[in-house]
Structures are given as C-alpha cells and as structure tokens.
Homo-oligomer: A and B are copies of this chain.
Amino acid sequence: MKLQIAVDIADTKEVMQIASEIHDVIDIFEVGTPVIMKEGLSPVKALKEKYPDLCVLADTKIMDGGSIECGDACEAGADIVTVLAVSDNATIREVCETAHKYHRKVMADLICIEDIETRAKKLLKIGVDLIGIHTGVDMQKEGRSPLKELSLLSSKIESSLITVAGGIKINTVDEYIAFHPGVVIAGGALCNAENIRQAVLEMKGRFNHGN
C-alpha cells in the first residue's frame, strides 16, 4: 500500500516547500488540478528536476485531446497522468498509448461514474494502470465519502490497482486500509497539518499497523 499526498491549493513555491519536507517519506506526490490550472505543468517539471526519484502524479483530469495533453504531462516529467473515466474510450486509449510510449502510468479517475464496476473493468481492458475511486471535494461537502465504492470495487477487481481519495483523515484511514487498496490518497489531512512530515509518517504508520 502506498501513500499519495494531494497538493491542491499551492503555487510552485509552496509545492517545492512541501516536497522539501517529505520527498524522502512520501510514496507519490500529486500536483493537484487547481495547481496545474493556475500554474500549468511547471511545478511538475520543477519537482522532477529537484527530486528525480520522487514519483510525481500530475492530476491533469484529461477529458479530450488525449495524446497532446498526456504527451505534455509526460514531457514535463509526470510519472503518473490522470484521465477522467467519464471521457470517451477514444480519449482513454490515446492517453494510455501516449503514457506507455513514455513508460509512464495512467490513473483513470472514476469521479461521477455511476456503474463503477463495469467502467473499471472496461478501463483496465483499454490499458489503464490504476483505477481511482474518488469523491470530489464538492461532493464531500454534502457528506459523501468513497468508502462504499471502495468496498464494492475491491471485491471486483485486483485491489492493488485501486487508488482511493476523498476526505480521508488519520481517524478514518483504517476503514480504507482494511480493503487493501494500492494507493491511499490524502490531501487536507496532510497538507493542513502543522507538521506535514509528521502527519505523513503517522498515516504511513497506520498502513503497517493495518497490514
């Protein structure tokens, strides 16, 4: 099980500051969609230049223009690129083909997919490497969580291919660990901690405890 930090509200300077604190203890460093929208792919490039061994996920949420957008993210150095599962199969295919040409991975984000089992199986067939269960921040405000979907999907596909995100905190992480997803993603729970490094270590400690 890996821990991914989602850094959503930051500029490149803050991204680099957070990375300096945790690059040696975090498994995957996510440059969040709001960061990319504001600053483009430059934080991804900066991260990979300073920490070439750090696994960086660019949360590009590609919806169209699969080869161009994925190609740009790979050129910037992203190890994992995200595509929206709601996008057309033609786009999913282009993203997979492009990422794999660069020997990078594709995570398809199931956000707003209703029949997650059918879609996840189709995505894996097309060539997606990781399946992301995701309750968006706007949905979290309505009290929704990704736990039920994780519980469903982890019995339907290989659980190590599943990543899970959506308001996971230190006091709820055990419920997710129980289903053995490949990646647990935490954003605010880590980024808003007084000591981010300590928060990362504490959450990773729960993993070892849980397994």
Contacts and interface: CB of A to CB of B under 8 A. Distances in A.
Contact of A39 (B40, B65, B86, B88): B40
Interface stretch (A14-22, A135-143, A156-164, A173-181): A135-143
A64 B111 contact: yes
A79 interface: no
Contacts of A84: 63, 84, 86
A25 interface: no
A74 interface: no
Interface residues of A, number: 37
A64 to B, nearest CB: 4
Which one of A37, A94, A139, A142 has the greatest number of beta carbons of chain B within 10 Å? A37
Interface of A: 8-9, 33-34, 36-42, 60-61, 63-66, 68-69, 72-73, 84, 86-88, 90-91, 93-94, 111-112, 136-139, 141-142
